[in-house]
Amino acid sequence: MNRLVSIKVLRPEFTCDEDFIQRFRREAQAIASLSHPNIVSIYDVGWEDNVHYLVIEYIEGDNLKNFIRAQGTIPTERAVEIARQISDALQHAHENNIVHRDIKPQNILITREGRAKLTDFGIAKEATTATLTQTDTIVGSVHYISPEQARGETAGPRSDIYSLGIVLYEMVTGALPFQGETPIGVALKHIREAPPRPSSLNPAVSPTLEHIIARAMAKNAVERYETARQLSLDLDKVAKPVFQKAVKADTDDEFATRVLPTVTRGNLPSQPAAVPAPVQNNPGRRRTAWLWAALVALGLLAAGVAAFQFYINVPEIQMPAVEGKTQEEAKSELVAKGIKEKNIQITLRAHPTVQTDRVISQDPPAQTSIKVTRTVTLTVSQGPEQRDVPDVVGYSLSDARIKISQSELNVVEPQQEIYSDEYPQGVVADQDPEPNTKLSRGSGVTLYVSKGPQPVDVQVPDLAGKTVEQARSELDKVKLKLDDNFTKASSAAYLEGQIISQSPDKGTAVVEGSTVKVTVSNGPGPSPRTYRVEFRVKDDDKTHEVKIVVNDVRGSNTVYVNTEQPGKKVTKDIQCYGKAEVQVYIDNELFSKKTIE
């Protein structure tokens, strides 16, 4: 019929289930029966060589999601009008017992004239049924599903109203009401949490519109609008008069279709009686008429021959292969083959891998026999779609992932870790590329997550001979940790409970926060030995304080303290364990020391 259409092909994983195919055909045929200005029309449904397809109306425009991304927020008047049009579309579908089940901005197309059209009607129902049977998981656009869908229950007309409420929320605020690190997390928020008030994100949202959104998004389906028509009527109340006037003008159109009375002889206006023309018999005029008839016949014959030569007898060529060539190279080659430049149509499209100005595809395909008058369409690459890199420095890692994902970019895995004095542990301290840099859609952003301040090096203290608690206290002073999983071993040099050895060794430089492992004695330890200490006090007519200190595996112990007369000889037997050092102090000054092996 010489019109542009879109053809949607069913995914191969669904073509093996004959029961599903039958439901798919019935559903598609049912949707094809819908006729509404805000629903994309389905013209045909069929299959060939196990490929099942839909032929649908081609919409020249873009989807609502891209409009939201481009504008941030949709002006409230425009958002209300879009939501009202989709409400009318849903009402028409619901009246025909068809529930959409996948309302989202990606499924709402905006034509160049600004009309909203709902697409993918009903197909989500069948795809969800088949997938749930196989995987027992939630399928659909998790940010827009209703609480009952999130619970795995059957979706009804009020589920569509809930999803449309979220779309309206996103249009006027520029943000989704629920975000989460996982799809299940988002689904749980639909069930349990209340979204932020739209007016807190966009003060332009009136209380009336906020109430409409809240009612459409009620957790309990019974508290929502009963029908999409009720929602549409409430939206009409907040719509600007300009839209209402436009609707009224349509109804007053003098060229609109209307019921007219049947034309009968009785209601015809009076006309003057027709007077028959006089009949004249003139042979000369008859000959002139025949001459003119012959000339007209010759002219028609000539025109027919010319038309045959121009339209029918047209040269044919083999369509050359121009994919991958530049636009100018492709056009030059086609023109050289005899195709008129006016018959070469160029369609520009973003492509992730094909270079800018290179031909992505051609129609007709290469080696096809075509007439030189046929229109040839070349789809030319505009290069990858570009996205602005968001600024996520200072965000938590999970929030940074969400913001980057919203820009249709990816986080390079695994993320990098760096020390930072400015940002606490777990917060993004740097990113590559920098914010507001242009990146191809789907490209990766490297995140550098803070590990906290750079730790300093400290020396491991000597723990030999100390108890576990004494060792822990010593390590705390230098911000080190004691490994609680210490081992035990027999030792003749250290008493039970004392540390025999350590790792790292004493004096080793390690980073703050490091762990030190120790081995603890199980005994029996060294046997006590007796050692005699002998010395003479200074003879200077003064009394003196005398002190004897023993340093052995038990630690440092004062074993004798007394005031002695000048010149007196002091003899004292002491006990020590293992290797020991005996120190003698007179008036708190070291007088002598002796090592005992």
Find the catalytic residue in 17, 44, 49, 102: 102
Contacts of 332 (CB under 8 A, 6+ apart): none
Answer whether 191's CB lies under 8 Å from 151's CB.
Answer: yes
| Structure tokens given for 350 | 């973003």
Instruction: Calculate ∠ Cα 217-201-238, nearest 5°.
Output: 60
Residue 102 is among the residues annotated as catalytic for this protein: yes
Neighbouring C-beta atoms of residue 206, cutoff 10 Å: 15
Burial class (CB in 10 A: 0-12, 13-18, 19+), 166: buried
**What span, in angstroms and rounded, lies between the C-alpha atoms of 292 and 301?**
14
Omega of the bond leading into 12 within 30 degrees of 0 (cis):
no
DSSP 462: P
279 to 142, 153, 170, 276, 433: CA distances (angstroms): 85, 86, 80, 9, 95
Neighbouring C-beta atoms of residue 44, cutoff 10 Å: 13
Describe the crossing of helices 228-238 and 207-216 by its angle, rounded to 10 degrees.
170
412 to 315, 418, 424, 425, 443: CA distances (angstroms): 55, 15, 21, 19, 9
Instruction: Calculate ∠ Cα 40-44-49, nearest 5°.
Output: 130
Answer whether 84's CB lies under 8 Å from 239's CB.
Answer: yes
Burial class (CB in 10 A: 0-12, 13-18, 19+), 290: exposed
Q: What is the residue whose two structure tokens read 């649908």?
A: 56
Virtual torsion, Cα 435, 436, 438, 443, nearest 10 deg: 40
Contacts of 486 (CB under 8 A, 6+ apart): 468, 517, 518, 519, 520
Q: What is the residue whose two structure tokens read 């839909």?
A: 54
Residue type present at position 229: R
- Sheet (strand 359-363) strand order: 344-349, 376-381, 359-363
Q: List the catalytic residues.
A: 102
